[in-house]
């Protein structure tokens, strides 16, 4: 599997309940010094992720339009669009997202993520 495909698969895995509800799986994919700026403007790190994600029950995301850039042998970036709903009553948020991934030995882990709210866009079928 090439690096681009691997990073997209890892990013998508972070959106599954199987991974989001498992501290072990989250730690496999997220670096200890991870930082995020959410679409809400909130700024947080790994510990907040480990507290919040396992409790989500109805959260869902649709992701599309991936753009991959490899900046060095050990750093790459993934930019993509996302539509995220926190629950069934939530109208959802459209965002443009960017993740930086770093290689640690044989593993890739996300080190930074940012989401920025954008106007609604057409969702891919």
Q: Residue ranges per domain, the chain?
A: 3-117
For residue 76, list its beta bridge partners.
70, 101
Looking at 3.40.50.620, 3.40.50.720, 3.10.450.50, 3.40.47.10, the CATH number of the domain 3-117 comes to: 3.10.450.50
Cα–Cα distance measured from residue 49 to residue 53, given in angstroms and rounded to the nearest whole number: 6
Question: How is residue 51 written in tokens?
Answer: 């507290």
Cα–Cα distance measured from residue 37 to residue 39, given in angstroms and rounded to the nearest whole number: 7
Cα–Cα distance measured from residue 8 to residue 1, given in angstroms and rounded to the nearest whole number: 11
In order along its 125 residues, the chain shows pLDDT tens digits of 899 999 999 999 999 999 999 999 999 999 999 999 988 899 999 999 999 998 888 888 999 999 999 999 999 999 999 999 977 777 899 999 999 999 999 999 999 999 999 999 999 98
Q: Considering the entire predicted model, what is its pTM?
A: 0.94
């Amino acid at each position: 599997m090439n690096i681009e495909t691997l990073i997209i698969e890892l990013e998508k895995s972070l959106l599954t309940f199987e991974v989001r509800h498992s501290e072990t799986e989250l730690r496999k994919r997220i670096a200890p010094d991870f930082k995020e700026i959410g679409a809400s403007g909130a700024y947080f790190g790994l510990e907040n992720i480990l507290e919040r994600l396992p409790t989500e029950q109805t959260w869902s995301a649709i992701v599309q339009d991936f753009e991959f850039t490899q900046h060095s042998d050990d750093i790459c970036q993934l930019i993509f669009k996302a539509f995220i709903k926190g629950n069934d009553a939530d109208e959802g948020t459209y965002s443009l997202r960017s993740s930086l991934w770093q290689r640690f030995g044989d593993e890739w882990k996300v080190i930074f993520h940012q989401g920025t709210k954008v106007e609604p866009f057409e969702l891919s079928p």
